[in-house]
Structure 1
Amino acid sequence: MLDAALKTQLKSYLEKVEHPIDIVASVDEGDKSQELLALLNDIAELSARITLSVRRDDAERKPSFSLNRPGARIGLRFAGLPMGHEFTSLVLALLQVGGHPSKAAAEVIEQVRGLEGDYLFETFFSLSCQNCPDVVQALNLMAVLNPNIRHVAIDGALFQAEVEQRQVMAVPTIFLNGQVFGQGRMGLEEIVAKLDTGAVKREAAKLSAKAPYDVLIVGGGPAGAAAAIYAARKGIRTGLAAERFGGQVLDTLAIENFISVKETDGPKFAVALEEHVKAYDVDIMNLQRAEALIPGKPGELTEVRFAGGAALKASTVIIATGARWRDMNVPGEQVYRTKGVTYCPHCDGPLFKGKRVAVIGGGNSGVEAAIDLAGVVAHVTLLEFAAELRADAVLQRKLHSLPNVKVITQAQTTEVTGDGHKVNGLTYTDRASGEVHQLTLEGVFVQIGLLPNTDWLKGTVELSRHGEVIVDARGQTSVPGVFAAGDVTTVPYKQIVIALGEGSKAALSAFDHLIRSTAPALA
């Protein structure tokens, strides 16, 4: 199952295992069960501390397996084959069950251990989902740390009947004790905060008590990370507050145009960004969604208020809150969001195997989505508002070569329809003839660009008609001492490499502003 190179690498990791691990496999006679047994036998052969036993007559999902430590109560199970993006989750689970310490913050680990009550988490994932491992790894760790917590990670593509029965139409979807707990990327801190209801209030009080910063960066994507590094290198007090470190990059599957790096993926790139920032004296504050900017008068501090109740002050502020997927803003879209309406073909595509779907948008992202989905679903209809597709020629040629894809241009989507539980169709108007058409389908993948995250800035800094922060050549906004960088601004071409440069420039501009002013926080 595992090739020689992967076995060698895994064997070196398993040398860190300190306690015996019992793997209990639940299988039947199916092909996937045989593949799972091959994988688990490979793992057991790599460490004398790992034993494997097989059960065929139990009531567990098949194929699945649990990881156990003799003398400890650990409720951790994988239902399916954790390969692809989830192979790292399996390796981490083996290490943690085997006693190797987690890198999670000590205070968060203590929060997990202190949780009272009984928790059964079930996470539906897909092997192509780059967001799912964060959730799976967080809940696996929680199951290792607290005997009252159990977690089952379920491959939705392998357990289609359960996906249908529980109406799972987006991954990751997390159930807690049978009820939906959350959907989409969630890290350990976010999950714990949702369970420990007093944590948000405690954290807000802790942050509000912090001393003012020389520069406060709001946003943790490429622009925010670059700004933090360049500011910290100047020796000034630097803070970075972000809803999630990595931003939109976390939802990017492949990165092939970052100069000097031939290819990587979004989550890997985001980890590298965070590790680089942590190498400097930067105060990183995650799970902080900005709600208001309160500019100070000349010589006074600027305040940023956050959704959890925290308020931070700084002499200068760099806005780097990026952008989010643009909605169609048609009836039914929000009603059926995650119930057939989705924005990530890589993550959710496997859940629509053998079904009919539509892709909205004829740019590069839309055409790439249609090409990817064509290999999984029964049929793809791509709808483009304009008279022609806007994607690169090479992508269009590939798209038109696929037999199960239909392209409709001059199509204005007017409604997403459903049966009250999930999507069953889509209505569009032919802009050339005015005729209204109805498509019968099970999924709608929206790929129509990005919308800047500037709702919290209205009435404070000047915005363009598209909602972007207007900046000059130095990244300065209309408010002195407040700068902006990246996809949130009017700077053209929303690319990672450009955001990094703009973030660096904004930090240098903020430093220049500090040394030319009498800002009270500057030492």
Structure 2
Amino acid sequence: MLDNQVKEQLKNYLAKLVNPIEIVASINDTEKSREMTALLQDIAELSTKITLIEKADDDRRSPSFSINRPDGGVNLRFAGIPMGHEFTSLVLALLQVGGYPPKVEPDVIEQIKNLDGKYEFETYISLSCQNCPEVVQALNLMAVLNPNISHVMIDGSIYQDEVNERHIMAVPSIYMNGQEFGQGRMNIKEILAKVDTGSSRREAEKISAKEPFDVLVIGGGSAAATSAIYAARKGIRTGLVTENFGGQILNTTDIENVIAIKKIEGTHLAAVFEDNIRNHDIDVMMPQLAVNLIPGELIEVQLASGASVKSKTVILATGANWRKMDVPGEEQYIGRGVAFCPHCDGPLYKNKRIAVIGGGNSAVEAAIDLAGIAEHVSVLVRNTTLTADTVLQNKLFTLKNVTLITQALTSEVKGNGQKVTGLVYEDMATVSKRTLDVEGIFVQIGQVPTTEWLKKTPVKLNEKNEIDVDAYNRTNVPGIFAAGDVSSSPYKQIVIAMGDGAKAALSAFDYLIRN
């Protein structure tokens, strides 16, 4: 199952096991079960501290396996074969159950250990989802640290009956004690804030009590990370407010246009950002969302948690979000048939009829990927032709289960109250309404800057709702700077966002010196 190079790397990791562990596999007579068994046998051979126990259909989800301590105390299970993006989740689970200390702040560990009550978590994932591992790893760690917490990772492509029964159309989808808990990427602090409701108030009080910063960066993507690091390296008091690390790159598979890096996955680059930030003297406030900004001698940034933080200068690097169609039914069915990430949610639409909205590179790439999974893909573009690169169009036109519908303007998302059943579009050539029966709609029509929260502030936005900046990344408000995709800086690329972040930090430092 594992090649020799991976085995050698894994053996080095498993040498860090402190205590013996047991892998208990629930197996049946299926090909997936045989694949899982082969993987577990490879793992067990790499360490004398690992014992593999095979049982026939002893769990309601089979094939699956649990990772335990011989004396119990851990309720952690993988229902599926955790390869792809989830292989790291498997390795971390093995190490943490085996006593290797997690890389988490001591106060977070204590908070998990002190949680009262019974918490049974289930997370539905797809192996191609880049956002799923963070959720899986967070909940696995909680199950390792607290015996009252259990967690099972469920591969939606294997357990299709459960996916259909629960109407799961997006991953990760998290259930707690049988009820919907959350959907989409969540870090361990966000999960704890929902479980331990008092933690958000306590964190807000701690943030509000902080002394003013010299530079406060708002955001967690390429521009924000660079800004914070450049500012910290100047030796000035630096803070960072963000919901998570990575921003848009979390939804990017392979990145090949960052100079000095031949190829890297978006999630790995986000991890590099976080590691670099935490190795500098930067006060990270996460997960926190900025909701208002009040200029003054000290600029005040108000957060959704109720906290307020002040700084002499602020760098706005909040990036951009998926552009929505803004049609009736879209908001209602997000996560229930309306999706934005084909890599994450695509496997849930196996053998289903779906639509892709858009005609650019991202839309055509999505259609090509989804054509290998879905029964049929309809690509709806409002123009008379696609605007994607020729090489992508040529590939698309070779696929027999893809239909291109031009001059189509989506006007409504249809559903049955639980999931998408179709869409209505206007045929602009005949000025008539048409209905398309689909179970999934992937919206790929670009992105919009995250500036809605700034519209009632003095910060000037341009006609695209981007923050208007000059060559030094200065806004119209003294002491406030902006960088990356949220700004008017042209060409939205990672390397440009990084450059913008560096410029904004240097401009903020210059401002502090002169004032």
If the TM-score is normalised by the length of the shorter chain, which range does it land in?
A: over 0.9
Q: Quick one: distance in 2 between partners of 1:177 and 1:430?
A: 46
Q: Which residue of 1 aligns with 2:252?
A: 252
Tell me, what secondary structure is at the counterpart of 1:327?
coil
Are 2:156 and 1:159 aligned?
Answer: no
Letter in 2 for 1:422: K
Match of residue 436, structure 1, among 433, 449, 461: 433
* Matched position secondary structure for 1:107: helix
Question: What is the match of residue 425 of structure 1?
Answer: 422
Contact 2:17 2:100 in 1 (8 A): yes
1:340 aligns to 2:337 (yes or no): yes
Q: Name which of 486, 489, 497 aligns with 1:488.
A: 486
CA distance in 2, matches of 1:175, 1:279: 34
Deviation at 1:209, TM superposition (A): 0.7
Q: CA deviation at 1:459?
A: 2.8
Name the structure 1 match of 2:452.
Answer: 455
Could you say which residue in structure 2 is the equivalent of 1:474? 472
Match of 1:505 in 2: 503
- Alpha-carbon distance in structure 2 between the residues aligned to 1:135 and 1:215: 31
Give the superposition deviation at 1:401.
1.3
Deviates more, 1:383-392 or 1:185-194: 383-392
Alignment partner of 1:465 is 2:463: yes
Deviations 1:86-134 (A, max 9, x none): 0110000000111101001110010000001111100000000000000
* CA drift at 1:279: 2.4
Distance across 2 between alignment mates of 1:410 and 1:148 = 56
**Aligned residue type for 1:131:** N
What is the CA–CA distance in structure 1 between the aligned matches of 2:498 and 2:59, rounded to whole Å?
52
Q: SS state of the match for residue 324, structure 1? A: strand
Structure 2 residue identity aligned to 1:477? T
Moved more, 249-258 or 89-98: 249-258
Cα drift, residue 57 of structure 1 = 4.1
Aligned position for 2:271: 271
TM-score, reference length from structure 1: 0.97
In 1, Cα distance between the equivalents of 2:178 and 2:293?
40
5 Å-filtered alignment, 1:181-330, equals 181-296=181-296, 300-330=297-327
State the Cα distance separating 1:59 from its structure 2 match: 3.7
* Residues 1:373 and 2:370 aligned together: yes
Partner in structure 2 of residue 402 of structure 1: 399
Indicate if the aligned counterparts of 1:245 and 1:286 stay in contact, CA closer than 8 A.
Answer: no
Q: Percent identity?
A: 61
| Structure 2 equivalent of residue 520 of structure 1 | none
Q: Could you give the per-residue CA deviations for residues 346-369 of structure 1, whole angstroms, max 9, x where no partner exists?
A: 000000000110011111111111
Aligned position for 2:70? 70
3-state SS of paired residue (1:220): coil
1:319-368 CA-to-partner distances (Å, cap 9, x unmatched) read 00111111100011011110000111000000000011001111111111
**Unaligned 5+ runs, structure 2:** none
Distance 1:57 1:365 in 2: 42
Per-residue CA deviations over 1:139-190 (Å, capped at 9, x if unaligned) read 0010010000000100000010111011111000000010000000011111
1:352 aligns with 2:360: no
8 Å CA contact 2:57, 2:63 repeated in 1:
no
Could you report, residue by residue, the CA deviation over 1:221-255 in whole angstroms, capped at 9, with x for unpaired residues? Answer: 10011111111121111111111121111121221
TM-superposed deviation, 1:278? 2.1
**For 2:255, what is the secondary structure of its paired residue?**
coil
Q: Report deviation, 1:63.
A: 0.3
Deviation at 1:408, TM superposition (A): 1.4
**Equivalent-residue separation in structure 1 for 2:4 and 2:414 (angstroms):** 50
Partner of 2:254, secondary structure, is coil
Contact 1:93 1:141 in 2 (8 A): yes
Root-mean-square deviation over aligned CA pairs: 0.9
CA distance in 2, matches of 1:327, 1:57: 44
What pairs up with 1:123-202 in 2 under 5 angstroms? Answer: 123-202=123-202
Report Cα offsets for 1:399-456 as digits up to 9, x if no partner.
1111111111211000110111110101111112212111111100011111111111
